Amino acid sequence: MRRKLLMVSALVIPAVAVSLVGMRALSKRDHSATVAATPLPDARATIADRQIQKAEARIRNLPSSPDGYTLLAGAYMLKARETGDFGFNARVESALKRALEISPDDQTAITLHATLQLTYHRFKEALDEATKAQKSGLETPDIYGVMTDAQVELGDYAGAIKAAQKMMDLRPDSSAYSRVSYLRALHGDLEGAIEAMRVAVKAANPANAENSGWYRVHLGLELMNAGRREEAEREFDAALQIFPAYHLALAAKGRARVRAGDFDSAVELYRRAQERVPSPEIVIALGDLYAKLGRREEAKRQYELVEFIEGNSASAGTYSRQLALFWADHDTRLDEALEVMRRERALRTDIYTLDALAWCQYKKGQLADARDSIEQAKRLGTRDARIFYHAGMIYDALGDRVNAAKYLKLALNTDRSFDVLQAGVAQRKLDELARGSSANSRRS
């Protein structure tokens, strides 16, 4: 029976794609595709390690076949997800280059190369490659997965739904259901998103610990958005059982502890996540938590680390939007933040780019532009606390108290852990609006 996802309503790219991969910012390791990995004891070897060794053996035995190189590229993609090390993508690229030199029409190499473009945030290039391959006869679930991911990031949600439906028709597996879940969430259908992600969790390959953990984390995040924190934490704990010290699960559980008011545990969880993978999102969250707790010197060191990572890692440029939001939230480098988001907006029209642009415009006092941008960011009906918060603050600056109060309440009711500092700003502004409304009532 055909599974319809058109009662859908959003998408964070699933685990089988790699655009959500984190990074190990200060890695100094060599990432040449042909350097053999040091064999690990069986107890320590992950599925990626074993796959790398298998691929290298195949290359030695069949050096003129593309198969060993595509297997190696896929193994390094998985290793990047396991470790959060963006530097492995250089090995992926080198392996795929060799595979395509041997066989320019190799379907696996073409699909993996388009997937790699997503990792580098070259979304249009990824879509162009996938579309060209599909038109030439490459009708596979994976190629439609790349098309779905790229269209979501570019803001073509109708196109993403069509591609995801085709993917579902061809192979309704965890990868397809996770995309359905994200598309539903983007359109405000949280229950539908949770339902689809539960299917993805059940269908995940238990032998792939990172993959199984990823689905658990993202089910938990959807539960958080639906206000079901305790259920969400159970999913984060399950992910950590499956894949111990998984940075995404540690950070997600840290966010849940913030929501529960357990700041000490949240600090420890974010700290452990940062030790594993110091991505800007994790570093910022920990810095803001330190600031909330009055630990100013520690917060300052975290904030300094954010910009160092962005400028000195294999993922430089990947987190431009997060960096612009960081500057805007902390009222620093506002001209640069706005310029960054204008450049992003020229490349893509997804709701999160428009939301970040709106926030930077608001901070620069460009209120009419901010209103236009935030209206576009809200166009799908996405239940996102940060978007609601930005909308409320923009409406307040425009003098629209009714909508300001409406959206600030929505932000806090949706998820008070969306940002430990900005949630406080939202509450103070809402209290101020309530006092103003009460004073006006007494005067009348």
Average pLDDT, the chain: 89
Residue 25 has pLDDT above 70, yes or no: no
Task: Give the model's confidence band at 443: pLDDT under 50 very low, under 70 low, under 90 confident, else very high.
Answer: low
Question: Residues 294-311: pLDDT tens digits?
Answer: 999 999 999 999 988 876
Provide the CATH topology of domain 322-438.
1.25.40
% of the chain exceeding 70 in pLDDT: 87
Look up residue 156 and give its two tokens.
């073509």
Question: Cα–Cα distance between 234 and 215 in angstroms, integer?
Answer: 13
Q: Rounded to the nearest 10 degrees, what angle do helices 320-329 and 280-292 cross at?
A: 20
User: What are the residue ranges spanned by the domains of the chain?
Assistant: 322-438
Q: In angstroms, how far is the first alpha carbon of the chain from the final one?
A: 62
Given a contact cutoff of 8 angstroms between Cβ atoms, the answer to whether 266 and 257 are in contact is yes
Given a contact cutoff of 8 angstroms between Cβ atoms, the answer to whether 73 and 60 are in contact is no
Look up residue 321 and give its two tokens.
């939007």
Q: Tell me what the mean pLDDT of segment 227-238 comes to.
A: 97
402-431: buried (b, 16+ CB within 10 Å) or exposed (e) per residue?
eebbebbebbbebbbbbbbbbbeebeebbe
Q: Which pLDDT score, from 0 to 100, does residue 316 have?
A: 56
Look up residue 219 and give its two tokens.
């089910």
Question: Residues 135-183: pLDDT tens digits?
Answer: 999 999 999 999 999 999 999 999 999 999 999 999 999 999 999 999 9
Task: Give the model's confidence band at 228: pLDDT under 50 very low, under 70 low, under 90 confident, else very high.
Answer: very high
Given a contact cutoff of 8 angstroms between Cβ atoms, the answer to whether 426 and 407 are in contact is no
Question: Residues 257-295: pLDDT tens digits?
Answer: 999 999 999 999 999 999 999 999 999 999 999 999 999
Task: Give the model's confidence band at 28: pLDDT under 50 very low, under 70 low, under 90 confident, else very high.
Answer: very low
- The set of residues, in sequence order, having a beta carbon less than 8 Å from that of 172 and lying 6+ positions away, is 3
Furthest CA-CA distance within the chain = 87
